Structure 1
Amino acid sequence: MKKIVVAIDGFSSNGKSTMAKSLARAVGYIYIDSGAMYRAVTLYCIMHRLFDNDKNLDEGRLHNEINNIKIDFHLNSEGLPETYLNGENVEAKIRSMEVSGLVSRVSAIPFVRHAMVALQQEMGKAKGIVMDGRDIGTVVFPEAEMKVFVTADADIRAQRRYDELKSKGDTKTTYEEVLENLKARDHMDQTREEAPLRQADDALVLDNSHMTIDQQMQWLIDKFKQITTTDEQH
């Protein structure tokens, strides 16, 4: 069967990464979490004190050091990809609220996006990948054979994110803080000058506000089979 690129875009905390990972495993593709790459750059900035006490970023230093930031993915014992920053497994660290609160600012910087997009495009040259993010179907892979735009109500997305944080032992963050952070990220993602979040004209829309994970997976696999079968017939 001919290999394709699957681009999954959408708002934060709507389960994009979970569904992208599951789809990749189901069809034997490689999964790449583009959001994790921006989170890794953000973590680098935190670790190397590129933010001052007022959370202002030293973009000059970051520009000088961007080529020193090496990001790759390695499969864990369960066959799932985990994010590595300069050789260190940072999968847990990049999911913190501190990183979540700063990642939209870092990912809006043009030279950061250019560096990450070049890396993502290199990863996708051989096809047979599923990648999720904010601009995969519009900027990174505008020719992707399957594009999905995922959306869900903000309140539902905030509840999902809050439940996820609680399950990981976070007892400090409130639901209201999560909702506020999510709405701020939505606004920044949609209004940034460089590659803003938007639905590609040829994207399939998936509103998963009231869908189970099984229903989402069935929807994705059905669409994948339709597209790959159609491609083979042409």
Structure 2
Amino acid sequence: MIIVLDGVAGSGKSTTAKKIAHDLNFFYLDTGALYRAITYYLLNLKIDANSKKINNALEKCLIECSYEDSIFKVYINNFDVTEMLRTKKVNNNVSSYSKNKVIREKLIDIQRSFSDRNLVADGRDLGAVVFPTADYKFFLTADINVRAKRIFESKGFDLKEISDLKEIRDNLEVRDFIDSTRKNSPLVKSDQAILIDTSDLSIREQCDKIYKVIKK
């Protein structure tokens, strides 16, 4: 069984997906972490998001991930980069790198390699592009002010680098625009996805709404 949760940043999709994967004893796939890992890798190599050098760089990049004890980790060339994926630099650049067609094609192949198991995955275009035949599809959204507060409180950003909620909110507006208008696999709700507004919902309430659907 494959369950996908697409949606905007701060909508609660990652926390909800992790909880569901834990409850059902499914593998959890954090696709956003994969894009962050590629962003981190290319930034370290000082390769721009639109550079022709990306092709060659990705040929030398082995990306692997694991999910054990409810912890998702990403490795690049056998090095654990998980702790480096939430810095301000990565946050501010991940949407730009995610637009790159070569990067998306590489990561789509990696994501699909997990389709042979019971899976809960969260991302931006999973229901429409990556797993179009997923058993259950959901799209999570929420008020942008609620999203900014959630990210601040969950330390999704490195708080030492973020001055206040306004900066997080501004960052979200930019990410929303880039993600929804990019040419390659934009942020989109697939036709079959069930829309859930999480603005006033706890994680438990979000999970309950999803369980009501998959247990019918």
Q: Structure 2-normalised TM-score?
A: 0.94
Q: Deviation at 1:168? A: 6.0
Q: Which residue of 2 aligns with 1:149?
A: 139
Give the Cα separation in 2 of the matches to 1:67 and 1:178: 34
Q: Which residue of 2 aligns with 1:97?
A: 88
Q: Deviation at 1:40? A: 0.3
Paired residue secondary structure (1:117)? helix
Q: Which residue of 2 aligns with 1:70?
A: 62
Q: Deviation at 1:167? A: 8.9
Paired residue secondary structure (2:47)? coil
Give the aligned CA root-mean-square deviation in angstroms. 1.7
Paired residue secondary structure (1:31)? strand
Q: Deviation at 1:58? A: 5.4
Q: Deviation at 1:120? A: 0.8
Assess, with a 3 A threshold, how the Cα gap between structure 1 residues 106 and 167 changes in structure 2: closer, same or farther: closer
Q: Which residue of 1 aligns with 2:4?
A: 7
Assess, with a 3 A threshold, how the Cα gap between structure 1 residues 49 and 129 changes in structure 2: closer, same or farther: same
Which of these residues, 9, 20, 24, is aligned with residue 23 of structure 1? 20
Gaps of 5+ in 1: 52-56, 227-234
Q: Deviation at 1:153? A: 0.5
Gaps of 5+ in 2: none
Deviations 1:16-56 (A, max 9, x none): 111111101111110111111000000001111214xxxxx
Q: Which residue of 2 aligns with 1:36?
A: 33
Give the Cα separation in 1 of the matches to 2:87 and 2:163: 10
166-175 or 88-97: bigger deviation: 166-175
Superposition misfits of 4+ residues, deviation over 4 angstroms? 166-169
Give the Cα separation in 2 of the matches to 1:75 and 1:196: 27
Q: Which residue of 2 aligns with 1:175?
A: 165
Amino acid corresponding to residue 151 of structure 1 in structure 2: T
Give the Cα separation in 2 of the matches to 1:144 and 1:23: 15
Assess, with a 3 A threshold, how the Cα gap between structure 1 residues 93 and 167 changes in structure 2: closer, same or farther: closer
Which of these residues, 93, 102, 118, is aligned with residue 111 of structure 1? 102
Q: Deviation at 1:106? A: 0.3
Give the Cα separation in 2 of the matches to 1:112 and 1:168: 25
Is 1:201 the counterpart of 2:198? The answer is no
Of structures 1 and 2, the larger Rg is shown by 1
Deviations 1:137-165 (A, max 9, x none): 00001111100000000111011112223
Amino acid corresponding to residue 56 of structure 2 in structure 1: N
184-193 or 86-95: bigger deviation: 86-95
Give the Cα separation in 2 of the matches to 1:20 and 1:166: 16
Paired residue secondary structure (2:132)? coil
Amino acid corresponding to residue 5 of structure 1 in structure 2: I
Amino acid corresponding to residue 17 of structure 1 in structure 2: S
Give the Cα separation in 2 of the matches to 1:168 and 1:104: 17
Give the Cα separation in 1 of the matches to 2:196 and 2:53: 40
215-224 or 133-142: bigger deviation: 215-224
Judging by fraction of residues, say which structure has more helix. Answer: 1
Give the Cα separation in 2 of the matches to 1:33 and 1:107: 14
Q: Deviation at 1:102? A: 0.3
Q: Which residue of 1 aligns with 2:179?
A: 189
The size of the alignment, in residue pairs, is: 216
